[in-house]
Amino acid sequence: MARVKDKVVVITGGSGGIGTAAGKRFAEEGAKVLLVDVFEDQLKRCVGQIGDSASYFVADVTKEDQVNAYTQAAVDRYGRVDAVILNAGIEGIIKPLIEHTKEEFDRVISVNIGGVFMGVKAAVPALAKTGGGSIIIVSSIAGLKGFALLGPYVTSKHAVVGMMRTAAIEYAGLNVRVNTVHPCPIETRMMRSIEEGAANLLHQDEKAIYGMFEGTQALKRYGKPEEVANMFLFLASDDAAFLTGNCYAVDGGHMAGLIL
């Protein structure tokens, strides 16, 4: 079953755990994939794992000319764009909110909000040229509730929900659908960084921090990158043709409520 056969999909943060899993999943389902990131060596490895259905483009999502360039590269290589997954993001430094410098705060905002804003700005006209498509913004469960010690990250992940809802309303007439995906802790490099930072700050073992996060899911485990990729696939496919302006949690039951 090729749910996105011949569709062209752009994935930012393409060399990370979720981005790589998404690239593989879309290729398996018949899509052409452009992976975007700043880490060329990692991008090369990812494309090598996926095969001829994928290529890469090195770009910094905080630079508008480079965002425009990766969008144009997808059109130049594959003739169109059908879905854009704005997955690039950083966690920032793990510490209380008011201990962050303005520079530390601005760095997270620049990547996690600025990169999404410019990605949406470039994606809408590209998608509209071929009759519309899907923009998927990767937020987090930290975009649906607060988390201590992750202030800039939480702020950024809430902000893109508002951006998503605005874009969904404004561009529905172009058949451009916009949604956010909200992963819980996923087995990725970012979570290893968060675990390490929390362990150092709280003077606890990293395994204890892992167990604490694991226990916040009703299913009592971290998610897998492939499980997030499956949600991307659905939202990019024609099965989701009537879905726009919504938040989709991939969270093992985290948002259902308090776990006893």
Look up 210 and say whether it is catalytic. no
| Catalytic option among 56, 70, 153, 248 | 153
- Rounded to a whole number of angstroms, the distance between the first and last alpha carbons of the chain is 40
Q: Are 243 and 179 in contact (CB under 8 A)?
A: yes
Residue count (the chain) = 260
Q: What is the dihedral of CA 232, 237, 239, 240, to 10 degrees?
A: 60
Q: Which residues are catalytic?
A: 153
